[in-house]
Structure 1
């Protein structure tokens, strides 16, 4: 069983607290993505799960077994790293099966597992090639295949797509999603790329400053962020934030509205501004509106938008989709 539980996991490097009490449960077969900015603790947390780092405090439970003091090789995990780490003198077949060979598995069993994994990853025709004869995407598939043949209870991915170009990232992302659907093994995936998080995860764990900010499905985080950090981190272009007050509530608040929840009107609206730049992206258009009273707003329109830089426009907010945040960053009124 590949369930995972983290109980009050803390990690300090000297006087620096990197993880500050992480509590999390991952169900068997779930695909969970850790996401957050650089330095938030996501890679350290993954390394603790793998056994490559030791927690300063707390417990780690995999499949109902406390593995806090168990060495990495006996945790029932397999890890795919950012770098491929393939042996250049070995072909694809031998790179994929090397770990099993070192563990003393019979050759026939190794061959069967390699064949199965190669078929899953469309590597059948590449088994005799060496890494230098492969593209970056093919090398990463070999690294994933090397993990699959171990038949682990838990897969760990540490930013596996960051070395690939944009097209290969999309292709490999789809292959990882298909692989999870096919084998159903629990996967924990670390990335700084919110697109990867939104498209792959059953649930996303947003980390910041060594603390879990929110856990939820991609659309739960997008539509119902717990605080201003999550609201600003999830979504591209990011949410617009406006300092102000809310009618019926005391004190100064920050109002948040996503770019797609603002429409432009040349006749009138909630606030006036000047268009400074227009990004034509094909399916969408991002329009930057300099509103002297509140600063720069980003408006996303569907398809081509015939708005000229320098023109005066009014922004009209969808009040049903506007968020309010208190001075401490938490959601106001929830």
Structure 2
């Protein structure tokens, strides 16, 4: 219950092709996140799965059944949007149970499911309130609860945390992760936030310009990016990219090294340079260095370090953590 197979999914708006042949297999119970820059097609793909957009071509199968011509209400899915889409005149309890009521479910079934979801999401004390009396995080929990009571085959999340402040996003990430563990349900989640993708997903699908660049676990994509796009998209600060010729490397066009894989010293090292800027973040120190051999390099150091602009320093990359890319941007030796 809850598997999803996409085969050769294409979607065009007029002459503009938004999805360019998407193939994806999601297993029952997986938490899969679509991530990519704005305009890459991730929300459109989610809407095709939901039936809110018609695919121009291709197949959508849920639990083995073709649903391309099945209306959204019959697909066994529940969707949580960026906007909470709650009815302001209804209480929390009535908002959560409305979909079941409209579907003709018995009152006792509605009561039972709303009570179960409410307890799961710590909403019991708010059931009699209306949306205007709730915080943003509480409203989002109500929207998630409305999805839970439907007991769907697939949960679809379209950037559900983007309207929340930073601290609340962290809290809601923890709640959604815990919810997935309790429900053991299949979840498809769209975000532009790589931190959400890295911390929540069993499997990440990196999209770019309507096509899939790479699929894998968070650590697979972080440690073994398939190409320059994935290497540069995942990771903050971004991976350093250096012309291979500047480093005397042969057989590669571009070399890549993550900021945390570079050591820093005032005495000696591989690349000599001048500090351009330092970000003192407490837990980390980010140092930007203009080097003679590798150009501008970003170094991430654990903890606080007393570097300042204009300091002369030496950066040493960990050779075992170096990534190599060919002229087409593909990883060499992946």
Q: Structure 1: which 5+ residue stretches go unaligned? A: none
Counterparts of 1:92-107 in structure 2 under 5 Å?
A: 92-107=92-107
User: Hey, what does 1:296 align to over in structure 2?
Assistant: 296
- The residue matched to 1:285 in structure 2 has which SS? strand
TM-score, structure 1 as length reference: 0.98
CA distance in 2, matches of 1:42, 1:273: 40
Counterpart in the other structure of 2:173 = 173
Gaps of 5+ in 2: none
Query: Helix, strand or coil: the match of 1:59?
Result: strand
Aligned position for 2:183: 183
1:271-290 superposed matches below 5 A? 271-290=271-290
* Root-mean-square deviation over aligned CA pairs: 1.1
Deviates more, 1:123-132 or 1:100-109: 100-109
Structure 2 vs 1, CA of residues 224 and 265 (structure 1 numbering), >3 Å: closer, same or farther?
A: same
Distance in 1, Cα, partners of 2:312 & 2:332 = 32
Q: Secondary structure at the match of 2:285?
A: strand
d(CA) in 2 for partners of 1:74, 1:257: 48
Please state if 1:137 is matched with 2:132.
no
1:278 Cα deviation after fit: 1.1
8 Å CA contact retained: 2:271, 2:292: no
1:215-234 mapped onto 2 (5 Å cutoff): 215-234=215-234
Q: Distance in 1 between matches of 2:98 and 2:66?
A: 28
| Shift of residue 244, structure 1, vs aligned partner | 2.3
Rounded Cα–Cα distance in structure 2 between residues aligned with 1:248 and 1:205: 31
2:90 aligned with 1:90: yes
| Separation of aligned partners in 2, 1:310 and 1:282 | 21
Alpha-carbon distance in structure 2 between the residues aligned to 1:76 and 1:97: 16
Tell me how far 1:248 sits from its aligned partner.
6.7
Work out the number of aligned pairs and report it.
Answer: 333
Matches within 5 A, 1:133-212: 133-212=133-212
Give the 4+ runs in structure 1 shifted more than 4 A.
none
Map Cα deviations across residues 123-152 of structure 1 (whole Å, 9 max, x no partner): 000000000000000000000000000000
Q: Does the CA-based 8 Å contact 2:244-2:250 persist in structure 1?
A: no
**Distance (whole Å) between structure 2 residues aligned to residue 267 and residue 254 of structure 1:** 28
Match of 2:250 in 1: 249
Provide the C-alpha distance between the structure 1 equivalents of 2:310 and 2:48, rounded to a whole number of angstroms: 52
- Write the mapping of 1:31-50 to structure 2, written as runs, cut at 5 A: 31-50=31-50
Task: Tell me the secondary structure at the aligned position of residue 61 of structure 2.
Answer: strand
Q: Deviations over 1:205-225 (max 9, x none)?
A: 000011101100000000010
Secondary structure at 1:327's aligned position in 2? coil
Counterpart of 1:115 in structure 2 is 115
CA shift in 2, pair 1:274/1:248, >3 Å: closer
Structure 2: how far apart are the matches of 1:13 and 1:269? 54
Instruction: For residues 55-95 of structure 1, give each alpha carbon's deviation from its aligned partner in whole angstroms, at most 9, with x where no partner exists.
Output: 11100000110001100000000000000000000010000
SS state at 2:289 partner: strand
What SS does the corresponding residue of 1:171 show, helix, strand or coil? helix
Does residue 74 of structure 2 align to residue 71 of structure 1? no
- How much does 1:249 deviate? 3.1
Partner SS state of residue 151, structure 2: coil
Q: Does 2:303 match 1:308?
A: no
Note the C-alpha offset of 1:247: 5.5
Displacement, 1:16?
1.2
CA distance in 1, matches of 2:333, 2:98: 57
Normalized against structure 2, the TM-score is what?
0.98
What SS is found at the alignment partner of 1:263? strand
